[in-house]
Structure 1
Amino acid sequence: MRSGTRRVFGSSSNWDQINARWIWDNIRNRCEKVCWHRLVWFPGHIPKFSLISWMEILDRLPTKDRLSRFGVVTDRGCGMCSSGLESRDHLFSDCAYTKEIWTAILLSCGLSQAPLDWNGSLQWLLLNLKGKSLLVHILKLA
């Protein structure tokens, strides 16, 4: 651990600069941002919703299909429509109940397009939102 500490702190004689932010910037691995980061992390985001969205995009939500792989649940059926297996793709795009909700949301936003599959929806969001709300984007089109 001493070598790791020396690597991080080096021969820094200015201990006033060392704070949590400085330590975080020096120990984290910096990677290229993913294309969808602005859909999840933006000014004014609600952390709980951003975390759920992040898990959703990475397909890490505790859906029944994932939980069944760990032996946590045995019934993998969708609890909303009672047909199909509960997975991220099913819950957010394939479920009949979900399709009705998305259709109502899109219509209330002035869009008459049919709900897309999971990958199509994500691509549409990446192309159309650009970190702004859907309503702002639609108002600019009008």
Structure 2
Amino acid sequence: MLKRALELRSSLEAVFLYTEHAEKLARFRISSQGWQRIQQVAEVLEIAHEGQQLLSADRQPTLHLAIPAIEYPMDAWEKLEEGKYKADPEMCSVLKAGIAKLGIYYLEMEKTDAYAIAMILTPYVKMRYLNKWW
């Protein structure tokens, strides 16, 4: 929804140009800083969406992608936290919360061998990922 709001920003702002709407809707007007924050949050959520999409398949098993699907957003968010948003405590707080939440799921995954076995049994993955990252 944030992505769509960003796409429609000029149209949403155009509504405020009509005097008959401006007064009634004034409290809903988004400042330029607000739009900037929406862009930042959308960027963070897009990373989570990309990780989730790794596990979305209609016709093939995706268990072998579970570890990369958790690690991808964690790594990307850590890079944003240490780089682009280093000077922004609010965004760092959001990123830390996301990393912490995914960390809980990651630790739960370590309690079973199913994920590693699924990776080993997937012909094009085999041991490559585990040898490289674990």
TM-score for the superposition, normalised by structure 1: 0.28
Structure with higher Rg: it is 1
Structure number with the higher helix fraction is 2
TM-score for the superposition, normalised by structure 2: 0.29
